[in-house]
Amino acid sequence: MLTLKLAWKNIWRSRTRSLVVVASIIIGVWSVIFLMSFSLGMGDSYLQSALKNEYGHMQVHHPNYKDDQEAKFTFEEGANVGSIAGVKAYSPRVLSNGMLSTGHGARGVIIKGIDPELEDGVSGIKAFVKEGEYLETGDQRSILVSQKLTEKFKLGLRSKVVLTFQDENGDMQSSAYRVKGIYNSGNAMVDEMRVFVDKQSLAQLMFKNDSLGNRIHEMAFMLTGTDQMDTVQSQLAALFPGELVENYKQLAPDLALMETQIKTSGYIFIFIFMLALIFGIINTMLMAVLERYRELGMLQAIGMGKPRVFSMVVMETFLLSMVGVPIGYLLGYISVKSFGTNGLDLTAFSKGNEMFGMSSTVYPIMDINLFIQLGVAVAITSLVASIYPALKAIRLKPVEAIRKL
């Protein structure tokens, strides 16, 4: 206890120097917390956009559909899939790669035949409708198009478009639709490539032998949490024997890679912070030892053992380092909490964000593990940084140190 008190008093003997080190630790801890929380927020924005607009947490397909997206590769829509524990929403889809033709040009699109109510539970597409109305079940000749397509082809509400696609026999089918709603999901790349129609209206043209109307190409699922993904996947595999059941990490390995890269970047941030901190602490403590060269010699001369001198210098270093951590935590918590509620406006970069499917407002995400990792990193850094100054202190010769002016 006496050594601890002595160490605490020693670090404030040169108040300015100690405060500089403490300030650097505060700024370092705060910046790592905020930058990592911001990175997690951007990653989550991209992930949520990808899950809602493209993948969901899980999808079911015919085994051959992914490699050869022909209309004939379908499966029967399963009953009671919504009753599986962990399933928040599901959406059966009839899909086709087709051509959208207008009076001002044409382009290839992905035609999604959906159950409007069920689809909204998965993708939340209804909230993205900016003009007109969302689709309703039974809308035989209504279509939902994106703002990108309306701008490109000068479309408006009630504009006529023609969809051309292949049916299950490989024959070409064409059907005219009227624009009922115009949407903007915030993902420009995806929006420009897809249109929505009622599932039954598309199925009637695509399938000639589907009297029950339950043949589909895709079933997308949103779960209550990713922690239940493996369990739900096993249950769906049992419910759809012979079909391909994949989670979003299998559907889009780049999403899993992105999550790994964010974690890796966090460790790199912490490592760089530790590297900068370790040299700062060594420099400060080495100066403190050299300034007290004579004093340390006298302490050893009157009986203070080398282990105690060593531990005193280590304690000084540890205490100096840990003083700034709680303050850095507090600043990090306040800033992340504030921006996590109100968001960080990146409107100036909105065009670029849309290209990657990210929102123009980023909400930093607080991760308690980051606080723990950062605290442990600072503690380890301080202990490592204390070794050289402490060794310097115990290697001095008391007689020479006392004589030193």
Q: Which two tokens stand for residue 248?
A: 């979003």
Q: Which is nearest to 325 in space by CA: 285, 288, 377, 365? A: 377
pLDDT tens track, the chain, 405 positions:
666 777 777 777 777 777 888 888 888 889 889 988 888 888 888 888 888 888 889 999 999 998 888 888 999 887 678 778 889 999 999 999 999 999 889 999 999 999 999 999 999 999 999 999 999 988 889 999 999 999 999 999 999 999 999 988 888 999 999 999 999 987 778 888 999 999 988 998 898 776 566 889 999 999 998 888 999 999 999 888 989 999 998 988 888 788 788 778 878 888 888 888 888 888 877 777 777 767 767 777 777 777 887 888 888 888 888 888 899 999 999 999 988 888 777 766 656 555 565 666 788 888 888 888 888 888 888 888 888 888 877 776 766 666 665
Instruction: Give 227-253 as a DSSP string.
Output: GGHHHHHHHHHHHSTTSEEEEHHHH-H
CB atoms within 10 A of CB 391: 13
- What separation, in Å, do the N-terminal and C-terminal C-alpha atoms of the chain show? 31
Q: Where are the domains of the chain?
A: 2-50+256-403, 63-242
Residue 182, SS3 per DSSP: strand
Contact partners, residue 167, CB within 8 Å, separation at least 6: 71, 173, 205, 206, 207, 208
Rounded alpha-carbon distances, angstroms, from residue 354 to 33, 54, 193, 217: 26, 15, 14, 28
Q: Please give the Cα distance from 97 to 195 (Å, whole number).
A: 10
* Tokens, residue 152: 């490109």
